[in-house]
Amino acid sequence: MAQQTLFEKYGGFSKISKIVLAFYDTLLDSDEIGPFFDDIDMTKMVDHQTKFMASLLGGPASYTDRQLQQMHNHLDIHDSHFDELKGVLEQTLSDHGMDRDDINAVLSEFENRRSQIVG
């Protein structure tokens, strides 16, 4: 029997979309991160981020390293921005009842993509 993915364990796309909405509620209030989203269609952004988050949890969606680089290379994202995103992600996952070991696994997957996101 195949091991359950975190995507399945935490309720699939419907639960992940709620996590992503809460994630952006916090990010949009950030003085450092919020301005990155000033001229962004947030409906599309939430959709993309939900798919990205699903991929971090072992779900069916995925982005290649090249796609991540293309989506972020025009932005002036620094390690400090990434670190803030990671902190908000950690808190949001915790707030939504994710187990500590599972949060650490997601943060590790996120960290593995730092070089594709940070300029």
Domain contains 3: no
Q: What is the pLDDT of residue 63?
A: 84
Q: How many domains does the chain have?
A: 1
Q: What is the pLDDT of residue 1?
A: 61
Enumerate residue ranges in the chain where pLDDT < 50: none
Domain contains 2: no
Q: What is the pLDDT of residue 56?
A: 92
CATH of the domain at 60: 1.10.490.10
- How far apart, in Å, are the Cα atoms of 5 and each of 11, 12, 38, 102? 10, 10, 34, 10
Domain contains 1: no
Domain contains 81: yes
Domain contains 5: no
Domain contains 23: yes
Q: What is the pLDDT of residue 9?
A: 95
pTM of the model as a whole: 0.91
